[in-house]
Amino acid sequence: MSETSTSARPEWGTLIGIGLTFFAIGVTVNVLVYEHVGSAVKTIAAAGIVLSATSELAYVAVRDVGGSLLAALIAGWVVASRFGLLAASLGTRIQVGHLQRSCAALNCLDPNVGVAMQQSTPKGVITAFWWVTGALHLGWWCGTFTGVFLGNIIGDTNRLGLDAVFPALLLAIIANLLRQKPGLVAALVGGGLCAALLPIAPAGTPIILSLTGAVVALKVREPKVAPS
Amino acid sequence: MTWTIIILLAVGVASLRLLGMYGGTALVRRVPMFERLGSLIPAAVVSAVIAQLTFASGKSLTIDARSAGVAVAAVLIWRRAPIIVVILAAAATTALLRL
C-alpha cells in the first residue's frame, strides 16, 4: 500500500478496492446470517455491534452443525482473538488519547491494521487506519443492507466468485510486507501452520497459533541498508 | 441468534480488541523484543486468515475455483496491478470456473 506524496491517506484506488471488498463481504455474510437469524433488525444489529464477519460466521457454522450455544460463542470469540493481536500491534505505533485509542481498538480489522502498520510515522499510522476504516465501513454497511433486503434476489453469492475477493484483498494489503524477508518468513510460517492445523484444531485456534510465524521471523535478520 | 447471544458475542469480541490494545500494547512496550514481534504479527496473522479463506472447506483443505481466483490475484499483485483489478480478477476467475 503506497502513501500519496502529500499525506498518509491511502490511494483512492486502494480505498475503493477495500470498500468494494467489504461490500462483497457484507452481502455474502449477511445473506447467511439473515437466513440463520430470520430477523432483519437482529442481522443488522449483529453486523454493527459485533463488527466481525468471521465471528458471526463461526457462530453460525457451529450452530448449523448442531453445536451448543456455548461452543458456538467460544468459536466466535476465538476467531476474533486475532483482532486483539492486531490491536496490540497497532497500539505500539499510535500516539493518541484514550478515547481515540479505544475507538481504534473497537474497529481493528485485518485490512485497516494491515495498511496502517506500513506507514512510517505515528500520525501516518492513525491517519491511514481511519481512512481504511471509513472505506470498509461504507462497503460493509451497504453490503449488509443489500444482503438483508436483496439477498433473496442475489441468491448464491459464491456463484459470483465473491468468496475469493477477501483473501485477494488481504494478500494485496500485505504484499509490501512479503517483499521483505522477515515479513515473508512470518507469512509463510503463519499461513502454512494455519493450513496444516485447520483439519485437526478447533475452529479459530490455527489463526492464533499462526503467531508462531512472527516468533520464527524474529530470527531472520533484516538486510542492512547500504549508506547512500 | 437471540439478543442475548448477539450481545455476548459483541461483548466478547470488543473485550478481546480492548485487551489487545491496552494489555497487549503495554506488554509489547515493556519487553523490547516484543516491539519487533508486534511489527511482524500482521504478516503472520493475516496470512493465516488468507490460508483459511483460500483453502478451507469446513474442516478439510481443498483446492478449488476460489483457490484459482486467489492464485490469479497473487500473480497480479506480484505484477503490481491496482487493487481493484486484483479483486475483480479474483472474483471473475472464480465465477468463470464455477460456470
What's the maximum distance between 2 C-alpha atoms anywhere in chain B? Answer: 54
Within-domain flag for A170: yes
Judgement on whether residues A164 and A127 belong to the same structural domain of the protein: yes
Q: Is A4 exposed, middle or buried (0-12, 13-18, 19+ CB in 10 A)?
A: exposed
User: How many contacts does A have with B, using Cβ atoms within 8 A?
Assistant: 302
pLDDT tens sequence for chain B (99 residues): 789 999 999 999 999 999 999 998 888 888 877 778 877 888 888 898 899 889 988 888 999 999 999 999 999 999 989 888 998 999 999 999 998
Q: Is B41 exposed, middle or buried (0-12, 13-18, 19+ CB in 10 A)?
A: buried
- Asked whether the beta carbons of A31 and A150 are under 8 A apart, the reply is no
Interface pTM (ipTM) of the complex? 0.87
Question: A55-109, pLDDT tens digit by residue?
Answer: 887 788 777 666 678 878 887 887 788 899 899 989 999 999 999 999 999 999 9
Q: How many C-beta atoms surround the C-beta of residue A221 within 10 A?
A: 8
Judgement on whether residues A45 and A127 belong to the same structural domain of the protein: yes
Within-domain flag for A47: yes
Judgement on whether residues A151 and A222 belong to the same structural domain of the protein: no
SS (H, E, C) chain B: CCHHHHHHHHHHHHHHHHHHHHHHHHHHHHCHHHHHHHHHHHHHHHHHHHHHHHHEECCEECCCHHHHHHHHHHHHHHCCCCHHHHHHHHHHHHHHHCC
- Number of folded domains that form chain A: 2
Judgement on whether residues A66 and A123 belong to the same structural domain of the protein: yes
**In chain B, where the domains are located:** 1-30
Judgement on whether residues A138 and A217 belong to the same structural domain of the protein: no
DSSP 3-state assignment of A155? coil
Give the span between the Cα atoms of B58 and B67, in whole angstroms.
Answer: 15
Judgement on whether residues A170 and A186 belong to the same structural domain of the protein: no
Within-domain flag for A38: yes
Q: What angle do CA A211, A136, A142 make, to 5 degrees?
A: 135
Judgement on whether residues A131 and A79 belong to the same structural domain of the protein: yes
**What is the distance in angstroms between the Cα of B84 and the nearest Cα belonging to chain A?**
5
Q: Is A83 on the interface with B (CB under 8 A)?
A: yes
Judgement on whether residues A162 and A227 belong to the same structural domain of the protein: no
Residue A206: list chain B partners with CB under 8 A.
Answer: 48, 52
Judgement on whether residues A16 and A93 belong to the same structural domain of the protein: yes
Within-domain flag for A185: yes
Residue B53: list chain A partners with CB under 8 A.
Answer: 163, 166-167, 170
Residue appearing with cell numbers 476460489: B66
Within-domain flag for A1: no
- Asked whether the beta carbons of B81 and B68 are under 8 A apart, the reply is no
Here the cell at position A155 is 441468491
Within-domain flag for A7: no
Judgement on whether residues A205 and A127 belong to the same structural domain of the protein: no
Here the cell at position A42 is 437482529
Question: A160-215, pLDDT tens digit by residue?
Answer: 888 898 889 889 888 888 988 999 999 999 999 999 998 998 877 888 888 899 99
Range of the domain at A204: 180-228
- Asked whether the beta carbons of A158 and B90 are under 8 A apart, the reply is no
Q: How many C-beta atoms surround the C-beta of residue A9 within 10 A?
A: 16
